[in-house]
């Protein structure tokens, strides 16, 4: 198993139409490949996104119908790269979709699927609110997928706030964690960098976090600042707030070094749950 790999995150600004959004994402994948990237990660809903106060458009299609899958399978095979399709909206039962991440190998085969577990139902300041569960059905299991450079633990966006998921992925063998996102600008400015660095530090993993930027045919912007973070919590690359790519060469030997210095993954200790307090 190779210990060094050049990784990249694509930072695009998808709109409500699939074809132009895919064309821009494809251009950026090719640019990352030209810079030597062997594992390239795309953001959440990279192929279609419109957000506004009363509308949430993500281009929902069945897996068999979605044009992104054959297109990017062919692209991975053509370029000889591994591709993380951050997420696509895949039709589920009961008029909902799965927010589904795909890992495509260099032969163009689907190496893993992951359905987002935690859904973004929040009420922020100034009336800004989101109800992802109104349109999305949650997944029911975590996923760690093999790659030529070590296992990759999959997650999507709001999953980032649930540290136990990443601990479970690391304890299942992950050396990379993917966190594709379309993080809201409001929460991104406050929490994105610190949460991603924390997940890297807690697990001793490399974190690959491609995020959309700009506005998307509606009134709500995403944050950008795609990040590549090393197992010690150092930011190796930051995508800023405009479309583009970030690239870094990483050495998975750094995972073992970080975990040897801080072996917290082996220090779990059983404890009783706290009892509910009784008002006096």
> Is the distance from CB of 116 to CB of 158 less than 8 angstroms?
yes
Please identify which of the residues 24, 50, 116, 254 carries the catalytic annotation.
116
Q: Which residues contact 126 (CB under 8 A, 6 or more apart)?
A: none
pLDDT at 55 over 60: no
pLDDT at 52: 65
Cα 182 from Cα 13, distance rounded (Å): 9
Look at strands 244-251 and 4-11 and give their pairing. Answer: antiparallel
- The 10s digit of each residue's pLDDT in 147-195 is 999 999 999 999 999 999 999 999 999 999 999 999 999 999 999 999 9
pLDDT at 94 over 90: no
Please identify which of the residues 41, 157, 205, 211 carries the catalytic annotation.
157
73's tokens:
């399978």
Percentage of the chain with pLDDT > 90?
83
| Confidence band of 220 (pLDDT split at 50, 70, 90) | confident
Percentage of the chain with pLDDT > 70?
98
Q: Say whether 131 sits in a helix, a strand or coil.
A: strand
> Is the distance from CB of 21 to CB of 28 less than 8 angstroms?
no
pLDDT at 131: 86
Q: Does 116 qualify as catalytic in the annotation?
A: yes
Architecture of the domain made up of 4-266: 4-Layer Sandwich (3.60)
Please identify which of the residues 9, 24, 41, 44 carries the catalytic annotation.
44
Neighbours of 200 (CB within 10 A): 25
Domains in the chain: boundaries:
4-266
pLDDT at 279 over 60: yes
Q: Does 41 qualify as catalytic in the annotation?
A: no
More confident residue, 125 or 262: 262
DSSP 8-state class, residue 126? G
DSSP 8-state class, residue 96? -
Q: What mean pLDDT value characterizes the chain?
A: 94
Global pTM?
A: 0.95
């Amino acid at each position: 198993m190779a210990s060094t790999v050049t990784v990249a995150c694509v930072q695009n600004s998808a709109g409500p139409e699939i074809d132009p959004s895919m064309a821009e994402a494809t251009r950026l994948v090719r640019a990352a490949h030209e810079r030597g990237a062997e594992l390239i990660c795309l953001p959440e809903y990279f192929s279609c996104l419109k957000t506004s106060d009363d509308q949430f458009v993500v281009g929902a299609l069945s897996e068999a119908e979605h044009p992104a899958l054959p297109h990017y399978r062919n692209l991975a095979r053509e370029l000889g790269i591994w591709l993380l399709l951050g997420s696509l909206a895949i039709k589920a039962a009961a008029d909902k979709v799965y927010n589904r991440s795909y890992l495509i190998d260099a032969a163009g085969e689907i190496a893993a699927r992951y359905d987002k577990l935690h859904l973004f139902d929040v009420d922020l300041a100034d009336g800004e609110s989101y109800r992802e569960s109104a349109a999305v059905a949650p997944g029911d299991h975590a996923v760690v997928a093999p790659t030529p450079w070590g296992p990759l633990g999959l997650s999507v966006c709001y999953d980032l706030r649930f540290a136990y998921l990443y601990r479970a992925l690391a304890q299942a063998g992950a050396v990379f964690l993917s966190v594709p996102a379309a993080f809201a600008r409001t929460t991104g400015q406050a929490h994105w960098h610190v949460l991603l660095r924390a997940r890297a530090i807690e697990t001793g993993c490399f974190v690959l976090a491609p995020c959309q930027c700009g506005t998307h045919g509606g009134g709500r912007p995403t944050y950008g600042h795609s990040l590549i973070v090393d197992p010690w919590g150092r930011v190796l690359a930051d995508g800023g707030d405009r479309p583009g790519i970030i690239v870094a060469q990483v050495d998975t030997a750094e995972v073992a070094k970080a975990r040897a210095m801080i072996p917290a993954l082996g220090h779990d200790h059983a404890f009783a749950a706290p009892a509910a307090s009784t008002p006096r």
